[in-house]
Copies of this chain bind each other. A is one copy, B any other.
Amino acid sequence: MKKRQTDKGDHASDAPLVPRRTPTQARGRQRVDAILDATAELLVERGFEAVTTGHIAERARIPVGSIYQYFPNKYAVFIALATRQAEQFGRITTMLSRPETIIVRWGEVLDRLLEAIVDYLLSDPAIPVLWAGLVKCPELRLDDVEYHAKAVDYTFAFLAQLLPDMPDEKRAVVGMTVYAVSEALFFRLCQESAPQKRQLLLNELKVLLKGYLAYHMNGD
């Protein structure tokens, strides 16, 4: 039974998952970074489910209360970390999506893109852990997860150029398929420790997607 707190958006539990306050001073930014760094470490060490606010605070060497200075609740910390991680991700996709090249040599573009994404995912082992954790977390909506939003957007933008004549509904299904398949293989790949095995898996993903997309470009 909760202290009947009427609905305010301040210190509330059902608050939006955006940071409470974007710190402008150096110290504040440092602390937010410390919180996010600590969270990233713990995600890798303990896994998504096992990260607690207590652990985060301990690792960041701050009191628990300070987490709640910057975030309305635990999940907002995850979201913020995801957002920070997703910046680089956004840059990749932006960079590779020059429309003019996409159609003529779309196979190459796709290859480069997939390689870049793998590089990105491997650049920080916390990324796939958090991504996978957030995607299945019943406490939040997928739209809050930055990578997911970006990846979905990008997928559909890519397909819009590649399959301009396909009806929107159909393209939505194709998009979901491409997205789901890529996500699944990327996560597997990240769990693989041997680089050559990762290379092999990436190759299969390329083959798979190119075959699938080629099929939809030719006729049906």
Contact = CB atoms under 8 A, between A and B. Distances in A.
Contact of A212 (B10, B184, B208): B208
B211 A11 contact: no
A183 interface: yes
A3 to B, nearest CB: 6
Nearest to A204: B177
A105 interface: no
Contact of A180 (B9, B184, B197, B200): B184
A157 interface: no
Contacts of A10: 54-55, 58
A139 B13 CA distance: 18
Interface stretch (A45-53, A146-154, A158-166): A45-53
A219 to B, nearest CB: 12
A138 B73 CA distance: 24
Interface residues of A, number: 50
Contact of A47 (B1, B138, B180): B138
A44 to B, nearest CB: 10
A141 B177 CA distance: 28
A4 B173 contact: no
Contact of A3 (B136, B139, B207, B208): B139
A94 interface: no
A124 B214 CA distance: 35
Interface of A: 1-6, 8-11, 13-14, 45-47, 49-50, 52, 54-55, 58, 73-75, 132, 136, 138-139, 170, 173-174, 176-177, 180-181, 183-185, 188, 197, 200-201, 204-205, 207-208, 211-212, 214-215
11 contacts: A1-B13, A6-B46, A9-B45, A11-B54, A177-B205, A181-B208, A183-B184, A207-B212, A208-B211, A211-B211, A212-B212
Given A4-B138, A177-B208, 7 more contacts: A1-B73, A4-B50, A9-B45, A50-B138, A174-B204, A180-B185, A181-B181
